[in-house]
Amino acid sequence: MRAGPIATLVAPALLLVALALLFLPMAALAAPRPNVVLIMVDDLGWPDVSTYGLRRVATPNLDRIAAQGVAFSNAYVAGPVCAVSRAGLLTGRSPQRFGFEYNLDDVHNFEDGLPVDQPTIADRLRGLGYHTGLVGKWHQGYTAPYYPIRRGFDEFFGFLAGETIYVDPATPGMVTTPTKADRPIGARKPQQEIVEGPDGRVVRNFDKYLTGELTDRAVQYIDANSKAQTPFFLYLAYNAPHWPMQVPKAYYDRFSDIQDPVRRTYVAMIAAMDDGVGRVLDALQRDGVAKDTLVIFLSDNGCPIQFGFCDCGHPLGAGKFTQLEGGVRVPFMMSWPGAIKPAGIVDTPVSSLDIAPTILKAAGAEVGPLGLDGRDLLSAGGGGRTPDERPLFWRQDPVASVRMGRWKLWTSKDEKATRLYDLTTDPGETTDVSAQHADVVRALSGRLAQWEAGLAKPRWPVHRVADVQVCGRVTESVY
């Protein structure tokens, strides 16, 4: 008998080790609730970490996290741009469900932000008795109702905008490299200022390299809270290696073998960020809480390859602003020595939407009634070897897509196009096989339409839609 389209989507060849096999028996979770350190970086491409064996960029401290736990090679975020991705991470819900479909722009929608009726993971953890801190980039609203202290965080040190300057370019010992995406690098705008505390006091630190200062503040937070009677949640949101391309010369000088100055600066910024992660891991170890801390690391989206930060040697299609693999597939790893057995690299598709339920379940919450869209990675799978039948969805109208098993369906209303890619043989999404697999197209189109029917109207209009040529191919970019 001929297999149906859904059976084809999850062919036996795609049987993956269930996530439940990665972890110690759930009885181990009777231990005290873990501290949580959630690290999100900005515009780091999946191929630009050494964890997955590509060795294009050495990231020994990210490799430390993976060596102590697990690295997911098929990990996805909720959107291919910063603010959309972060809205999904912080709520555990598809951001399109509450109208957060396009990026936040401090020119066109300054008054908008993460809807106040959407609880953040910090809200929920604080309700469970956690002390909560945010260090770094927010990008979920610029005005008072959206300020992090009002969104579940006890402490905040960072900036509200989608980007900011790392350091005064005139500071001795710093390198600032122009790019194709360049804008003037001068004084910070008000929403780009580094602020802290409940009143948003401006911190005058324009002569300090921001990646290093964010690390300093993260370490201070860990030191201050490690001896407390209550667990802590630290959301460390580095803006590296996002534009502008700035890095201490000491890091830049490490990479004299890279001829292109933009790529060289980008790689040097990754090295500085990786060193910062190492200092955070060292602080947990020094303070005696490493075993009892769940550490999660991921990027908010892929690398903006069209700006020259990445080269065309990477194996994934396109990058930031697109729904191809290079835009939504990211490095993602986690460790918790008290509960997670070292498992190496795991191919099971996972989502950033899984992070909130994973953390909340570990913290003792009953996640079922919360209406989250992800699943708890600590207990998913139920044991045994099972196919992963879960579809993963994206939409920034006019583009929408879905991945299920080996297949990725990409659609565009503007182009009136539907393309199907077989990710097992074509991770770069260069060959449309929709004509050969019409049954798969029908099945995935039906699932995508059903998902879209439950979405909210976008809270603000799209800023820009454009065809972009990336490494010899044309796709659609939405911002």
pLDDT digits (tens, 9 = 90+) for 54-111: 878 999 999 999 999 999 999 999 999 999 999 999 999 999 999 999 999 888 889 9
Mean pLDDT of 30-47: 90
Indicate whether 164 and 287 sit together in one domain. yes
As a whole number of Å, the CA-based R_g of the chain is 21
Ranking 102-106, 123-127, 211-215, 274-278 by mean pLDDT, the lowest is 102-106
Average pLDDT over residues 131-149: 98
413 shares a domain with 437 = yes
> Residue 106: inside a domain, yes or no?
yes
User: Would you say residue 332 has pLDDT above 50?
Assistant: yes
pLDDT averaged over every residue in the chain: 90
> Are 206 and 304 in the same domain?
yes
What pLDDT sits at residue 3? Answer: 41
The single-letter DSSP state of residue 81 is: S
pLDDT at 471: 76
- For 434, phi then psi, to 5°, come to -60, -35
Q: Which domain holds residue 354?
A: 22-386
215: domain CATH number is: 3.40.720.10
Task: Kindly write down the DSSP assignment for every residue of 183-252, as one continuous string.
Answer: ----SPPGGGS-EETTTTEEP--TTS-HHHHHHHHHHHHHHHHTTSSS-EEEEEE--TTSSSEEEEHHHH
Higher pLDDT, 320 or 353: 353
Cα separation, 27 vs 19, whole angstroms = 16
The pTM of this model reads: 0.93
Same domain, yes or no: 263 and 360: yes
CA dist 29 and 344 (Å) reads 21
- Of 386, 407, 422, the domain-final residue: 386
Is residue 153, in this structure, part of any structural domain at all? yes
* Choice among 102-116, 122-136, 430-444 with the minimum mean pLDDT: 102-116
Give the pLDDT confidence score for residue 108 in this predicted structure: 82
Number of structural domains (the chain) is 2
Do residues 90 and 300 make contact, with C-beta atoms less than 8 angstroms apart? no
Same domain, 252 and 124: yes
Do residues 372 and 401 share a domain?
A: no
CATH number of the domain within which 453 lies:
3.30.1120.10
